[in-house]
Structure 1
Amino acid sequence: MHDPNCLFCKIIAGQIPSKKVYEDEEIFAFHDIHPWAPVHFLMVPKLHIPSMAQVTPEHAGLLGRMLALAPRLALEQGCNPYPEGGYRLVVNTGLEGGQEIHHLHMHVIGGPRPWLKG
């Protein structure tokens, strides 16, 4: 499913340029346009899911693949290895949860501190 009015669907389709980090048949990752840290990219499913609130058991495999891929991409993008290094995974859900784009996405944020922002 694709939403023609969704910013992230347009990025996935190549209608809006992005700095791609990774792509496969189900997942697209790209650098955040307003990074909070030295490493800050987004991982999005190609399937248009508005938020975590719409996730169902049928999405478990997709979300598991996203979580399993995040450590590799974080290291490739410059995060230092665990345990001294690391990164943060953030999924904002709904307006009160800070979600701005209504297409499920996971922020991968890391790199040397001080980049603390909340």
Structure 2
Amino acid sequence: MSDCLFCKIRDGHIPARVVYRDEVCLAFEDINPQAPTHVLFIPLKHIPTVNDIALEDRELVGHLYTAAARLARERGHADNGYRLVMNTQRDAGQTVFHIHLHMLAGRPLMWPPG
């Protein structure tokens, strides 16, 4: 998608504070952090919403979670806890239509989130 913000970050056309990259996903610091640690994990493949995830994307989506768990361990959040969130569509707060997993950590997180 040529107009997708996250595809432009993925392709290096827009700068981001990248904290992780592999052959499946990219992770970078959120520009409007809601916690001391707020990292977004995106697949390199463009998928607009959770509704668009196909059966063949199962491993890709699972990979986002394992990459997030790895970074949480590396940053010392695994024992105290962290939140992983994937919003779907505007009413749920999705503003960029390229699936992304938010990892929030570094402070107590209340429930329900809002």
TM-score, normalised by the number of residues in structure 1: 0.88
Specify which of 74, 77, 99 is matched with residue 76 of structure 1: 74
Aligned length: 112
Shift of 1:78: 4.5
Q: What is the aligned partner in structure 2 of residue 43 from structure 1?
A: 41
Specify which of 54, 65, 68 is matched with residue 67 of structure 1: 65
Q: What is the aligned partner in structure 2 of residue 93 from structure 1?
A: 88
For 1:78 and 1:39, how far apart are their aligned partners in 2? 11
Uncovered stretches (5+) of structure 1, i.e. residues with no partner: none
Greater shift after overlay, 67-76 or 92-101? 67-76
Kindly provide the amino acid, as one letter, of the partner of residue 87 in structure 1. Answer: Y
Structure 1 residues 18 and 78: alpha-carbon distance in aligned structure 2, compared to 1, 3 A threshold: farther
Matched, 1:19 2:17: yes
Kindly provide the amino acid, as one letter, of the partner of residue 68 in structure 1. Answer: T
Kindly provide the amino acid, as one letter, of the partner of residue 101 in structure 1. Answer: V
For residues 5-34 of structure 1, give each alpha carbon's deviation from its aligned partner in whole angstroms, at most 9, with x where no partner exists: 000000000000000010111100000000
Contact 2:24–2:63 (Cα < 8 Å) also in 1: no
Shift >3 Å, 4+ stretches? 115-118
Kindly provide the amino acid, as one letter, of the partner of residue 10 in structure 1. Answer: K
Identity, % of aligned pairs? Answer: 44
Contact 1:39–1:78 (Cα < 8 Å) also in 2: no
Uncovered stretches (5+) of structure 2, i.e. residues with no partner: none
For 2:107 and 2:101, how far apart are their aligned partners in 1? 20
